[in-house]
């Protein structure tokens, strides 16, 4: 009976976090369909909903202790659709269809940038500095494009004459994802800790500010965050170089320590065999 239960647990998947991941994937797919039908405002909002679902599924898995390799891989595939393919097709259908090859090539550069960004993130989970992201995170990049589309629809812009500039923005956003610029991950913030009472009022004011004009505030906020990476990296270039030097110095010491441990184990095994 115990063997059957263990096999069932291995074959099954956790419902709640994967349900949230599926909701985010659905929102990203809906954004593509809505943009094909000309409903660009709904498409942009759907991408932001996918961002919320992406933020909730991981936290829910950690809170309920339901992390799994399947969930991590599924989340990565969903992110590729919601924050890679969906934003590129939405902005392409909105503004880039009339500028020829440059339009779809800019959209493709964004897609490949998102794919490479996710692949690099998955391979650096255990080794990267948790305080920073290396390159612009794909949800933030998607928010820049979705916020621009939402802002344009809200103020009834004719995006076609500005296709070249929007294509350049799409191209640059895709390249920022695969850059080495440092972006704050905000993971050093103690979300479980106590804050002053005035902090609660500030949070409420932020929500009110967003509610007053969501497209302008969201696009402006994520655009500033996208610019913060190059600015912060150039500002702290000396500190970053010093950190890299210290890593190079410590790496040989670590390897020497590992070699000495291996030699000690070999000596012990040889002495045991001789005895």
- Is the distance from CB of 32 to CB of 85 less than 8 angstroms? yes
The CA distance from 154 to 33, in Å, is 20
- The full set of domains in the chain, from first to last, is 2-235 (1.20.120.1760)
- Residue written as tokens 């993130």? 121
Through-space distance between the first and last CA atoms of the chain, rounded to whole angstroms: 46
Asked whether the beta carbons of 78 and 54 are under 8 A apart, the reply is yes
What pTM was computed for the model? 0.81
Q: What percent of the chain has pLDDT over 90?
A: 53
Can you tell me the mean pLDDT for 156-184? 93
Percent of the chain with pLDDT over 70: 79
Residue 273's pLDDT is: 47
CA torsion, ordered 40, 230, 162, 154, to nearest 10 deg: 40
User: What mean pLDDT is predicted for residues 119-144?
Assistant: 85
Q: What is the DSSP letter of 14?
A: -
Has residue 134 got a pLDDT over 50? yes
What confidence score (pLDDT) does residue 262 get?
A: 47
């Amino acid at each position: 009976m115990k063997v059957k239960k263990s096999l069932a647990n291995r074959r099954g998947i956790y419902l709640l976090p994967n349900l949230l991941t599926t909701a985010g994937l659905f929102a990203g797919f809906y954004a593509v369909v809505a943009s094909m039908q000309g409903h660009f405002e709904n498409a942009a909002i759907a991408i932001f909903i996918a961002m919320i679902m992406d933020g909730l599924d991981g936290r829910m898995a950690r809170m309920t202790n339901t992390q799994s390799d399947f969930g991590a891989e599924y989340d990565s595939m969903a992110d590729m659709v919601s924050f890679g393919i969906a934003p590129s097709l939405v902005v392409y259908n909105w503004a880039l269809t009339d500028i020829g090859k440059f339009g779809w090539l800019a959209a493709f550069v964004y897609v490949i940038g998102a794919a490479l960004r996710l692949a690099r993130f998955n391979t650096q989970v255990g080794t990267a500095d948790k305080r920073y992201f290396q390159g612009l995170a794909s949800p933030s990049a998607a928010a820049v494009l979705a916020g621009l589309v939402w802002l344009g629809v809200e103020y009834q812009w004719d995006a076609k004459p500005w296709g070249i500039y929007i294509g350049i923005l799409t191209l640059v956003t895709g390249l920022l994802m695969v850059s080495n610029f440092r972006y704050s991950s905000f993971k050093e913030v103690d979300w479980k800790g106590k804050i002053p009472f005035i902090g609660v009022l500030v949070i409420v004011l932020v929500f009110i500010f967003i509610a007053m004009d969501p497209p302008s505030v969201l696009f402006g906020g994520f655009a500033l965050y996208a610019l913060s990476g190059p600015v912060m990296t150039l500002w702290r270039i000396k500190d970053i170089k010093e950190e890299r030097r210290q890593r190079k110095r410590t790496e040989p010491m670590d390897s020497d320590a590992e070699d000495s441990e291996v030699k000690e184990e070999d000596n012990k095994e040889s002495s045991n065999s001789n005895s």
